[in-house]
Structure 1
Amino acid sequence: MPITPDDLDHLRRCVELARQALADGDEPFGSILVAASGETLFADRNRVRGGDATRHPEFAIARWAAEHLTPAERAGATVYTSGEHCPMCAAGHGWVGLGRIVYAASSAQLAGWLDAWGVPPGPVAALPILDVVPGAVVDGPAPELVDELEALHRARFPDRGTSAQ
């Protein structure tokens, strides 16, 4: 399914959450959970700076949804996120049975940017969501937001090489 204007509005909220995370000294990621009705149920941003590398917003969404929604409500909900889920978050998404995922920038794009800036890869492979959750419904990236996200991630590494563009 193509990314709609409503999807872009939700993704812009995720980018704003990512901006808040960066301003707080964290990695720039933000995500929201939207019910089938269109109501935003949960919103969060990355919170790993304290040392807990599992405090990704997508993982927080999976935990919250498992505690607060029925299986049918989870399946009908959409997760919007600034960056494609990492394998940990994709697995959480799959295990709790959440619905569609819409992301603004892909893991491959992020990995390319980081590589171009000379940032060493993280400890977990940057796998596409569908490699972890083959049955997931996934849409992204959103070209309208990719440059803005690259700039947010670039701001984390001001002393590194040049952009991947």
Structure 2
Amino acid sequence: MPDLNPTPPTETDLRHLRRCVALARQALEAGDEPFGSLLLSAEGKVLFEDRNRVAGGDHTRHPEFEIARWSAEHLSVRERASSTVYTSGEHCPMCAAAHGWVGLGRIVYAASSAQLVTWLTEFSAPPGPVAALPIREVVPGAVVSGPAPELSDEIRELHRRLHAGD
């Protein structure tokens, strides 16, 4: 069984996670679920960023899945393996599997799936249709950092607003 305890994000990670939270806020303001992600090269260059786009009915339009698709088309195997994915919320099993299949590198998330499940329960929101598994249960060899307690309150508030209809 792999070690399922991720390491905490670094100060550099927090800077990129704050951008993910800003993308999540943009998603919410556009009427979508509040998730945002970005892909960085080994040199720290932002290669791709996106936000959730599931409001149109395609529930595979998660930013982490879009990153996997984009990287498979535009990056070499070596570039994918040395990249870092930053995201406001821990990958769902679909996105974790896509990450593993295309061979992306490290994953850094601001809020864990366990936190999201707790918040949804607090908000009396229905659970998602897919089990909220930690990334390493889906991709045992994944290098993972998170959650970032510094951002938890802000992310929780975005999800509260979504479920309260604010």
Q: Report the TM-score range of the alignment, normalised by the length of the smaller protein.
A: over 0.9
Q: Residue 10 of structure 1 corresponds to which residue in structure 2?
A: 16
What is the TM-score with the length of structure 1 in the denominator?
Answer: 0.95
Using the TM superposition, give the Cα deviation of residue 105 of structure 1 relative to its aligned residue in structure 2, in angstroms. 0.1
For structure 2, list consecutive stretches of 5 or more residues without a partner in the other structure. 1-6
Q: Residue 77 of structure 2 corresponds to which residue in structure 1?
A: 71
SS at 1:101 equivalent: strand
What is the TM-score with the length of structure 2 in the denominator?
Answer: 0.94
For structure 1, list consecutive stretches of 5 or more residues without a partner in the other structure. 160-165
Q: Say which is worse superposed, 115-124 or 134-143, in terms of deviation.
A: 115-124
SS at 2:85 equivalent: strand
User: Higher RCO, 1 or 2 (CA under 8 Å, sep at least 6)?
Assistant: 2
Per-residue CA distance 1:43-99 (angstroms, 9 max, x = gap): 000000000000000000000000000000000000000000000000000000000
Q: Residue 29 of structure 1 corresponds to which residue in structure 2?
A: 35
- Is 2:8–2:148's contact at 8 Å kept on the other side of the alignment? no
Using the TM superposition, give the Cα deviation of residue 158 of structure 1 relative to its aligned residue in structure 2, in angstroms. 1.5
SS at 2:164 equivalent: coil
Q: Partners of 2:8 and 2:77 in 1: how far apart?
A: 25
Q: Residue 50 of structure 2 corresponds to which residue in structure 1?
A: 44
Q: Partners of 1:153 and 1:125 in 2: how far apart?
A: 18
Distance 1:2 1:157, change over 3 A: closer
Q: Residue 111 of structure 2 corresponds to which residue in structure 1?
A: 105
Which amino acid in structure 2 is aligned with residue 110 of structure 1? L
Taking only the aligned residue pairs, the percentage that are identical comes to 72
Q: Residue 60 of structure 1 corresponds to which residue in structure 2?
A: 66
Q: Partners of 2:8 and 2:58 in 1: how far apart?
A: 35
Deviating beyond 4 angstroms after TM superposition, the runs of 4 or more aligned structure 1 residues are none
Which amino acid in structure 1 is aligned with residue 73 of structure 2? E
Per-residue CA distance 1:91-139 (angstroms, 9 max, x = gap): 0000000000000000000000001111111111001000000000001
Using the TM superposition, give the Cα deviation of residue 2 of structure 1 relative to its aligned residue in structure 2, in angstroms. 3.8
From 85, 94, 106, give the equivalent of 1:88. Answer: 94
Q: RMSD value over aligned CA atoms?
A: 1.2
Aligned residue pairs total 160
Q: Partners of 2:12 and 2:138 in 1: how far apart?
A: 27
Q: Partners of 1:146 and 1:134 in 2: how far apart?
A: 25
